[in-house]
A and B are shown apart, each in its own frame.
Chain A
Amino acid sequence: MSDRRAGAAGAAAPLGGGLIDVTVDVAGAPRHVTVRFPADEPVLVMDLDIGGFGSPMDIAPPDGVELGATPTFGAEELAAQGFAEPLQLTELPPGWALADAEVTGLTMDGSCSMLVLTYDNVVDPEASLGLEVSNEGCAVHEALQVGQRLGGRWRGDLMTYADDFGGFVAATDGTSRIGLASTLGPDDLVPFVLSLGPFDPLAQPSLTVGDTVPVLGAPATDGD
C-alpha cells in the first residue's frame, strides 16, 4: 500500500501558478471548478462538480483523536531561539515550493538550534531540496571546509554524494552556517545559496516548530 500512496503522492506537488475556472449558478454559488497547474503547460488538471451545499457532515479522524494545532513561528520566535540570521531561499525555479519547516535542537541543552526548510518539486516527486541554517560556531557543518568563494558573501564547499543521490553545499557568510542538500548536482545548488535572504514568515505561513518531526513516517536523518 505504501508504494501506491507514494505514487499518488506527487499529487501534492506544486507548480508556480495555475488557472482556475469557476462556473457559478444564478444565485452565485460555485457549481463547477476547473484548476490547471501550471497555467501554460498543465501537468495537473482538476475538473470538479460542486454541490451539496450545507449538507450535514460528520468528518472526524479515523481513530477519533484530533491532533493538536501545531504552533507557527516567525522571525521573532527564531530570534528568541538564538538565531542570529534566520535565512530562507528567496528564489525558487518553477516546480519548487516550500513543503515543510521546523526547528530542531543541535545541542542537548538547547543552546544551538537549526532551522530546517524542505522544498519539494511537483514535476519529480523524487527530487528534493533541503536547507539547514544554524549560527556560525554551533553548526553541524562546522567541520566542513568552506574556503571556496561561491559568490556574494558566501564561501563554501561543493560535494557530490557517493551514491548519486545528488549534491551538497556547506557554506558560511561569517554569521550563519548553512547546509543545502539536493538531488540536484552541487554546481546547480550555487544559485540557491546566492538567493538566501532573511526568513520571511509572511511569505511562508503556517510553518511548524518543535523538537519532533512534524510528519509521521518521516524520521529525520540529520545525523545530529
Chain B
Amino acid sequence: MRRGLVIGAAVGLVAVATAAGVRALDGPAEQGRSETAGGATSTTAPPTEEEAALARRAFAGAARALEQAGSFTYEGVVTSSAAGPSAPWPGPAGEAIAVAGQVSLPGRSTERASGAAGVTDTVVSGRGVWQRASADEVGIESSPWALVGQGVPALGLAGLPEWLSQSVDAVPVGGPPDGGLTVAAVCPTAEPARRARRRPSVAG
C-alpha cells in the first residue's frame, strides 16, 4: 500500500478541489439553495436575467479587484466531513481547521493550518511547494522545511482570481448588513493539483 506526502492544508485543498471541478453542475448554482455565507439572506426563486447579470459582474469584478491589488490575505476555517483515514485533515472528521495565509499574485502563497493533530505551514512559490509540520505552534518555527512538490502550477488561493472569473451560473443570494452583495456560482475546472506521493507501479 502506498504512502507518502501529499500537499496538505487549504492551500492544496482549494486548488485541487477547484481543479477537479471538471463537470459543471446542472442549473443555476443557487436554485433551491437555502443557506449562504456571510449572513446573507437566501433565495430559492430562479434569478432574473438582470440578477444573473449582476452576479456575473460581481464575480468578474471581484476577480479584477484581486488582480489589481496584487496581494491579499485570508483567514478562516476549513472543515471536512470525511470520516476515518479519508479525512483530508489531521484530526477527527468534522473538526474545523483554522487557516490563515497570504497570497502574492501570481502564484505565491503562505499558509498556516492548525488543528487538533498539529500545525502545518505551507509555502507555494513559483513551481515549488514546501511544508513543515509540528505538534504545536511553538515547535513549528524550528521544524525543518521539506520540498513536497514541484512542477505545481499556482496552487492554493493564488488561484482565487481565476476561480472567480471562471465560475458559471452566478446568481445573487443576498447582501451583508453593511452593504455589498453576496453571489454564488459553480466552480469551474482549473489546474489539476499535484500531490506528492508514491505512484503505484502498473508494471505488475
Interface residues of A (CB under 8 A from B): 1-2, 4-35, 37, 39, 42-57, 59-63, 66-70, 92, 97-100, 116, 118, 120, 122-126, 128, 130-132, 140-141, 144, 159, 163, 165-166, 168, 170, 179-183, 203-206, 208, 214-224
Contact = CB atoms under 8 A, between A and B. Distances in A.
A165 B202 CA distance: 11
Interface residues of B, number: 118
Contacts, number: 420
Given A1-B134, A140-B203, A223-B201, A120 B195 contact: yes
Interface of B: 1-10, 12-25, 29, 33, 36-38, 40, 58-59, 61-62, 64-66, 69-82, 85-90, 99, 102-104, 108-110, 113, 117-118, 120, 123, 125-128, 130-134, 143, 145-151, 153, 157, 160, 163-164, 167, 173, 175-176, 179-187, 191-204
A21 B184 contact: yes
Given A39-B186, A59-B108, A126 B2 contact: yes
Contact of A55 (B72, B110, B130): B72
Nearest to A97: B20
Contacts of B133: 1, 4-5
A23 to B, nearest CB: 4
Given A125-B88, A179-B203, A217-B4, A14 B21 contact: yes
Contact of B21 (A17, A25, A60, A165): A17
Chain A contact residues: over half helix, strand or loop, or mixed?
Answer: loop
Contacts of B175: 23
B163 A20 contact: yes
Contact of B151 (A17, A144, A215, A223): A215
Nearest to B180: A25
A118 B148 CA distance: 17
Contacts of B163: 20
B74 A49 contact: yes
Given A11-B89, A29-B62, A218-B199, A53 B182 contact: no
Contact of A204 (B5, B76, B192): B192
A99 B4 CA distance: 14
Given A62-B123, A224-B203, A217 B196 contact: yes
Given A21-B36, A181-B200, A27 B65 contact: yes
B78 A216 contact: no
Nearest to A61: B125
Contacts of A26: 179-180
Contacts of B204: 141, 144, 159, 168, 170, 179, 181, 223
Pick from B24, B70, B126 the residue with the most CB of A within 10 Å: B126
A30 B66 contact: yes
B37 A21 contact: yes
Nearest to A44: B80
A59 B176 CA distance: 32
A65 to B, nearest CB: 8
Nearest to A215: B196
